[in-house]
A and B are shown apart, each in its own frame.
Chain A
Amino acid sequence: MRRINSMYGRIGMLRRVSEKLTKQSSDTFLASHSFSTHGGYGGDGELQQNNSKVKIFDRDLKRIHRDRAAWLSSRHKNNSFVDAVADNLLDRLEDCKKSFPTALCLGGSLGAVKRLIRGRGGIEKLIMMDTSYDMIKSCRDAHEDTLDNSIETSYLVGDEEFLPIKESSVDLIISSLGLHWTNDLPGSMIQCKLALKPDGLFLAAILGGETLKELRIACTLAHMEREGGISPRLSPLAQVRDAGNLLTRAGFSLPGVDVDEYVVKYKSALDLIEHLRAMGETNGLLERNKILNRETALATAAIYDSMFATEDGTIPATFQVIYMTGWREHSSHQQAKRRGSATVSFRDLHKQFGGQSES
């Protein structure tokens, strides 16, 4: 613990150094200041533990979850939900005339993205990044097994909140179902934007607020009945309106957001939990209750069954996925016109279309 504190304290030391170093390094350093939402760097190089204002998720626990997911997913080969999301994301590359020679793939369901690229987007160099070493290793082993050498792939273990990528160095960043576990999502997105070349594309898919609403309801009810209180079992998830704000706040131009809902059917609540484990999506909140009563778990499964089961006995689970698209600004993008450069006044417009709307 002390080690980590002193690690971040190093950044404070760095701030003093950069003032004396050359101009160009201070430019990049200022850029990295902009993503800190907390004024954590502010003051005189005194740094708190972390940039983000709130620590909601336990990142170390997420790494362990993802290690486990790497071991489990080698057994369950078919994961149609994750494949569908990755496919949807990669399809958007077909809509762009531009090709993206260098691409970075951030956490989440890396394996699916890599498997499903199939030459879309003109990707030549792919960099795979994840917080979990085991996940990267299993991706690399899978790659060697298929002997598919059309795309030059490099592997890297890194944290989405501290992106170790140089500014303006990649054409495309894809993150499929990975960013909803970051504590500081605006900060991560700003770092992604900085890592992109001008006219570079950022594609992300995160889980939205409606995800697993049935599970949320069943858990809450079971807990209240058995234990008299509730503890958070599902992480706070973004809403669609927030996604748009996130993109503009990170400074992406031409932002686009759309939502899709997938309903996956399971034979029982236990299968749902197994699937979540295999994807590395189990509870990672700092505030979680580490003990789960057997009675409560059984009660949850029973409530889920009785409230939401379909005629054929399977239970549905909703996954709401929010797809976000953003570009790094470039002179060829549409810009808002300068103030005072209007050639037509509102009065003329009103006269033209007058009587149709009052406001």
Chain B
Amino acid sequence: MVRLSRVLLKDAGNVIDKTLSEILVCPLSKQPLRFCEKTKSLVSDTIGVSFPMKGGIPCLVPKDGKILEEESEASKKNIK
């Protein structure tokens, strides 16, 4: 029974925990994060970085973040 629930948890791991979604912000900019369904990652729109989620656990270490190139170009244009 325990093993079954662990497997189920792993599959459901792509949905972010409710507690976490209320509390988490981007580690660099402290702005709210957006959960992107396509890439299963948390995106920080203000600085254009996406943080991966491994096994249902968000990895918000700055080094793990990936820069989203196209979106940053668009946002730069908007600022100007």
**Interface flag for A105 (CB, 8 Å):** no
**Interface flag for B36 (CB, 8 Å):** no
CB < 8 Å neighbour of A169 from B22, B28, B29, B67: B22
User: Are A28 and B30 interface neighbours, CB within 8 A?
Assistant: yes
Taking CB atoms, residues of chain A closer than 8 Å to B9 are: 144
Taking CB atoms, residues of chain B closer than 8 Å to A85 are: none
User: Are A14 and B46 interface neighbours, CB within 8 A?
Assistant: yes
A7-B65 Cα distance, complex, nearest whole Å: 8
A133-B52 Cα distance, complex, nearest whole Å: 12
User: Are B63 and A166 interface neighbours, CB within 8 A?
Assistant: no
A-B contact count, CB below 8 Å? 113
With most chain A CB atoms within 10 A of its CB, the pick from B19, B32, B49 is B19
Taking CB atoms, residues of chain A closer than 8 Å to B46 are: 14, 17
A156-B25 Cα distance, complex, nearest whole Å: 12
User: Are B59 and A133 interface neighbours, CB within 8 A?
Assistant: yes
Taking CB atoms, residues of chain A closer than 8 Å to B27 are: 158-159, 162-164
Interface residues on B, range: 35 or more
A136-B6 Cα distance, complex, nearest whole Å: 15
Taking CB atoms, residues of chain A closer than 8 Å to B47 are: 10-11, 13-14
Instruction: Flag the segment in A147-155, A233-241, A260-268, A277-285 that touches B.
Output: A147-155
User: Per DSSP, are chain A's interface residues mostly helix, strand or loop, or mixed?
Assistant: helix
Q: Knowing A20-B79, A133-B57, A137-B55 touch, does A159 contact B62 (C-beta < 8 A)?
A: yes
A10-B48 Cα distance, complex, nearest whole Å: 8
User: Per DSSP, are chain B's interface residues mostly helix, strand or loop, or mixed?
Assistant: mixed
Taking CB atoms, residues of chain B closer than 8 Å to A17 are: 46, 75, 79
Contact string against A for B residues 1-39, beta-carbon threshold 8 Å, 1 for contact and 0 otherwise: 010011001000000010110111111111110000000
User: Are A155 and B57 interface neighbours, CB within 8 A?
Assistant: yes
Min CB–CB distance B56 → chain A (angstroms): 8
User: Are B49 and A164 interface neighbours, CB within 8 A?
Assistant: no
User: Are A156 and B67 interface neighbours, CB within 8 A?
Assistant: no
The 6 closest A-B pairs by CB, nearest first: A162-B27, A10-B47, A164-B60, A164-B27, A157-B59, A158-B60
User: Contacts A102-B23, A152-B19 given; 9 further ones with Cβ under 8 A?
Assistant: A7-B63, A20-B79, A63-B61, A127-B20, A133-B57, A147-B2, A155-B57, A156-B60, A167-B30
Residues of B within 8 A of A (CB): 2, 5-6, 9, 17, 19-20, 22-32, 46-49, 54-55, 57-65, 67, 75-76, 79
